[in-house]
Every structure is written in structure tokens, then in C-alpha cells.
């Protein structure tokens, strides 16, 4: 068996190298690639993706995993070896359903789609992106047909990002969450609005960028194994645990988006940098799921970065950098301002109380696109109608409406629900850690995040993909994904801010 495990390690290492190279090309595509390089980049990424896919779905890999699976009954089901074999085998079984030619075609289509999305968003013209999105949706519909029928076709897409989760589970969670969030929003809307004019003044980009670097460093981001660059849509890209890169964007009229966006992407990066190195170049080297991943980014952005205790330490430093804008703004005014609840068009700039409604809207649209019950050309109109229903506002243009997110251009249908799931998981983890560490607020007031990071590293990060998301959440918190702690967190926080 040891010889077989060694062979598995060798094979998966080569596949990981190809995937890492593809990830690097993808990062460059969004950060530095000239617009004219989209087609050639798509060909390159398609070739690498196809090679990795062919290697992983080879007859040699299949026979090796079949042999290793015969040893599973004699292994500890919670042990590293068992999990390595079972997760790799699960990935293999899913991958063998997908033809290599499809992988190459998908890479080419999405490379062109992403470039078209950038142009369409810049010009606020959905018609530029529409034919590309039609191809992306058609690819996803074909992808579903490669697998055995599921309870719902969307299950197949969701499982890519949230292993083991079902559409019905997510809908049930959201159905329980939606009325509670709407009730909270209505209560807040009856109270005097928080003043946040200071957030919309002119700020110097480089000064805000430098401050965001200071915060990311304090959180524990290892700059020897990472970097930060500007891009159109912020993201974190892991090219292996020792090369984890973050990006941020500058929006002059929303200067704090750079800061909180950096906190968010740093949360993702801390997770990737914290995966045990023994999983490097194996099937377990990344995060458990995108929902778990999002719990990390949302925790560092919100529970930490928007907390009063955090700003008791960092506000004087920010005030010193922006004396003109913040000199006459008290800590209490600042804290209330950065937590203002106001329905907005842009998901990534949405406050905590409205954010999940953006996700629920997108989930409904994704399911409708997959089912073919909406015409892609009608999406802007449908999007705006749902924004009115969910948030009471209508985007003024396509750029701030249907074109605001990059995900669909990358073919990632099935992805969005993980953002809301991440919010819920973050509250569960936060509640658990506070119960174990009553000194948390004092630590935040001192700018000391070492205890929190160490706990997350031990409970979440180090395990990589060893556990499925629901299993991991239950192991750490004692229950599966549950919206109750998140609602309690929101009510306590905004009850104090708005005097509810």
C-alpha cells in the first residue's frame, strides 16, 4: 500500500503543477494581461486544463485509486490516509464524467467571456456580454448532462463548490433566513439613519492602499508567500500554499471599498497559507469548500474589521493618515458610519444586513438560467425587477446591475450561494471562538489577532479539503450550518447601532 500511496503522490503532484500553472495564467489574465491576449490565453489555459484533466482521468490513475480503495475498510475513516484516498477518488469519479475536450472548450469560452465582461462592464452595455454568457450557460447545461441525474440539475453545479450540499438544503436555509433579515431591515428603516458623509470624501489612493497593507500584515498575511495587486474585481488566487496572491480595486467614490476588500481577500489568503504543507500538491491542498472559504473572508472583513474593538486600535492610525477627512469624526461616528445599513446596487459593497439578499437574488437567476426558464437577453430587466423586489432599489445601469460580478464570465454557476453560507458559518465560528476565548475583544483592542488566527489554523485551515463543509462545521461548532447565530449577531450589532 505504501508504494501505491507514493505513486499517488507523484501523479497528483504533476497534476497540481499543471493546475498551479493554469492558476498563475488566470491571475495574470485579470491583473496584467493586455486585452488583446484573451484568445491566446484561452488556448493556453485550455491546453493546460486538458492536460491536467487527461492525466487525472488516466487509466493508470483509475487503477491506482481502485486498488487503494480496497484498503479503506482497514483504515481509520477519520485518518489522513483514508481522507486522502477517498477525496482523491471522489474527484476522480467526478472528473471521469467530463470529456477532456469539454475542459478545453470551457477554458476558451470563458477566457473570451471574461474579456467581453470587462468591456461590457466598462461601457455598461450588457449586449456585449450577452452572447458570451449564452455560451457559458450552454456549457453549464451540458456539464450537468455528464453526470447521473440529481434531485435537481443545480445540485451538480453546487457540488463543485460546496461538496455534499443539495439545492434543497440551501433553499431551506435561505427560506428560513430571508424573513428574519427582511424583518430586521424593516426595523432599521424606521430608525434615524446613520451619518456616513466622511466615507464619501476625497481620499488618497496610495495612502489607503498602504493602510490596507498594514491591516493585512497585522492579520497575519505572509508577504513572503503573497502579494497584492490592483484589478477590476477583487479576488484571491492560490498558486500553491507558498504563493497566495490577493487583489484589490480602487473606487474613488467608495474609497473604503479598497480597505474592506483587502480585509476580505486577506481572509481567503490566510486560509490558503494555513493549509498543512503535507497536503501540498495533493487533492487536499485547498479549502474545504467555497462556503468555508467565504466564512474566513467574511469573518476578517466583518466580525473583525467592522468591530468597535478593532477600530479602537486602528482608528487613531487611520485618522493620522487622513486628518482632513477624519479629524473631526469621533470613533463612535466612524464605527456607526462603516456599519451603516443602506440597500445598495453593488454586492461587494453591501452592508452585512442586506448582503445575503443579493445572494438569494443571484441563486434564483442561476437556477432559472440553468433550467432555461429565462432568456439571457432579458437578464438586465429581470435583474432590475428582482432588485426592486428584494432591496427596494433599481440599478441605474448595467454596470451596477447585471454586469457587476465577474463569476458568470468564468463559467461559475453554482458559486454564489456559498457567499451567504459563508456569512452563516462565520457567525457560528465567531460564537464558538468567543465562548473559548473571553479575552477576544481585549485582544482586538490591542491589534493582536494571533489567538484568533491560531485557532482558525488549528480548527479549519490546516485540514485543507480533508472534511466536507457540513462535517467540518459540525466538528468545530457542534452543529451543521445554522442561520440562528448570524441573525443573533446582526440583531445585537445593529440593535446597538440603531437603537432597536
Q: 140-157 pLDDT, tens per residue?
A: 999 999 999 999 999 999
Question: Does position 35 have pLDDT exceeding 90, yes or no?
Answer: no
Residue among 343, 344, 325, 345 nearest 334 (CA): 325
Burial class (CB in 10 A: 0-12, 13-18, 19+), 6: exposed
- How far is 265 from 31, CA to CA, in rounded Å? 15
Query: What is the pLDDT at residue 202?
Result: 97
How many angstroms separate the CA atoms of 498 and 416, rounded?
Answer: 29
Q: How much is the pLDDT for 487?
A: 93
Percent of the chain residues topping a pLDDT of 90: 89
Q: What is the pLDDT of residue 393?
A: 93
What φ, ψ does residue 247 adopt, rounded to 5°? -130, 155
| 424-444 tens-digit pLDDT | 999 999 999 999 999 999 999
Joined together, the cell numbers standing for residue 264 give 476580505
DSSP class of 299: I
**What are the residue boundaries of the structural domains of the chain, listed by start?**
2-147, 167-498
40 belongs to the catalytic site: no
What are the tens digits of pLDDT across the range 178-200?
A: 889 889 988 999 999 999 999 99
Q: Whose CA is closest to 73, among 1, 165, 6?
A: 1
CATH class of 167-498: mainly alpha
- Here the cell at position 413 is 454557476
Distance separating alpha carbons of residues 245 and 273, to the nearest angstrom: 10
For 325-366, what is each residue's pLDDT tens digit?
999 999 999 999 999 999 999 888 889 999 999 999 999 999
pTM: 0.90
Give the cell for residue 128: 456585449
C-alpha span between 384 and 471 (Å, rounded): 37
The three cell numbers of residue 211 are 493602510
* Rounded Cα–Cα distance for residues 249 and 228 (Å): 10
101 vs 158: CA distance, rounded Å: 22
Which tens digits make up the pLDDT trace of 207-264? 999 999 999 999 999 999 999 999 988 899 999 999 999 999 999 999 999 999 999 9
DSSP state of 351: -
The catalytic residue among 265, 285, 301, 366 is 265
Amino acid at each position: 500500500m505504501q508504494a501505491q500511496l507514493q505513486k499517488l503522490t507523484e501523479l497528483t503532484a504533476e497534476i497540481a503543477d499543471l493546475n498551479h500553472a493554469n492558476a498563475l495564467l488566470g491571475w495574470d489574465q485579470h491583473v496584467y494581461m493586455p486585452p488583446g491576449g484573451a484568445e491566446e490565453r484561452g488556448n493556453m489555459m485550455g491546453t493546460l486544463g486538458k492536460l491536467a484533466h487527461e492525466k487525472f482521468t488516466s487509466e493508470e490513475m483509475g487503477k491506482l485509486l481502485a486498488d487503494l480503495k480496497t484498503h479503506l475498510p482497514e483504515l481509520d475513516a477519520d485518518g489522513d490516509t483514508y481522507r486522502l484516498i477517498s477525496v482523491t477518488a471522489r474527484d476522480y469519479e467526478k472528473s471521469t464524467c467530463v470529456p477532456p475536450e469539454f475542459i478545453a472548450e470551457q477554458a476558451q469560452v470563458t477566457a473570451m467571456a471574461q474579456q467581453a465582461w470587462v468591456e461590457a462592464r466598462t461601457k455598461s452595455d450588457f449586449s456585449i456580454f450577452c452572447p458570451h454568457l449564452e455560451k457559458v450557460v450552454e456549457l453549464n447545461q451540458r456539464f450537468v448532462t455528464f453526470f447521473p441525474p440529481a434531485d435537481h440539475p443545480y445540485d451538480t453545479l453546487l457540488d463543485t463548490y460546496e461538496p455534499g450540499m443539495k439545492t434543497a438544503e440551501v433553499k431551506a436555509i435561505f427560506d428560513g433566513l430571508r424573513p428574519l433579515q427582511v424583518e430586521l431591515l424593516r426595523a432599521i428603516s424606521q430608525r434615524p439613519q446613520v451619518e456616513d458623509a466622511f466615507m464619501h470624501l476625497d481620499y488618497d489612493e496610495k495612502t489607503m492602499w498602504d493602510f490596507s497593507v498594514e491591516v493585512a500584515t497585522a492579520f497575519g498575511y505572509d508577504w513572503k508567500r503573497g502579494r497584492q495587486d490592483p484589478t477590476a474585481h477583487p479576488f484571491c488566487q492560490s498558486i500553491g500554499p507558498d504563493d497566495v496572491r490577493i487583489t484589490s480595486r480602487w473606487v474613488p467614490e467608495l474609497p473604503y471599498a479598497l480597505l474592506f476588500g483587502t480585509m476580505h481577500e486577506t481572509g481567503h489568503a490566510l486560509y490558503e497559507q494555513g493549509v498543512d504543507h503535507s497536503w501540498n500538491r495533493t487533492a487536499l491542498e485547498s479549502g474545504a469548500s467555497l462556503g468555508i472559504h467565504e466564512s474566513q473572508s467574511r469573518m476578517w472583513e466583518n466580525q473583525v474589521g467592522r468591530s468597535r474593538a478593532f477600530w479602537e486600535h486602528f482608528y487613531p492610525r487611520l485618522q493620522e493618515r487622513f486628518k482632513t477627512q477624519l479629524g473631526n469624526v469621533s470613533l463612535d461616528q466612524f464605527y456607526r458610519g462603516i456599519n451603516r445599513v443602506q440597500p445598495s446596487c453593488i454586492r461587494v459593497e453591501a452592508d452585512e444586513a442586506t448582503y445575503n439578499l443579493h445572494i438569494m437574488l443571484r441563486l434564483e437567476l442561476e437556477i432559472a438560467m440553468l433550467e432555461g426558464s429565462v432568456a439571457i437577453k432579458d437578464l438586465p430587466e429581470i435583474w432590475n425587477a428582482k432588485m426592486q423586489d428584494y432591496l427596494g432599489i433599481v440599478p441605474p445601469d448595467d454596470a451596477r446591475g447585471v454586469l457587476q460580478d465577474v463569476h458568470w464570465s468564468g463559467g461559475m454557476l453554482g458559486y454564489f450561494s456559498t457567499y451567504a453560507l459563508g456569512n452563516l458559518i462565520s457567525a457560528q465560528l465567531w460564537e464558538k471562538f468567543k465562548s473559548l476565548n473571553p479575552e477576544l475583544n481585549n485582544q482586538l483592542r490591542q491589534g493582536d489577532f494571533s489567538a484568533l488566527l491560531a485557532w482558525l489554523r488549528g480548527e479549519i485551515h490546516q485540514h485543507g479539503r480533508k472534511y466536507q463543509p457540513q462535517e467540518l462545521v459540525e466538528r468545530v461548532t457542534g452543529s451543521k450550518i445554522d442561520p440562528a447565530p448570524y441573525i443573533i449577531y446582526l440583531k445585537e450589532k445593529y440593535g446597538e447601532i440603531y437603537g432597536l
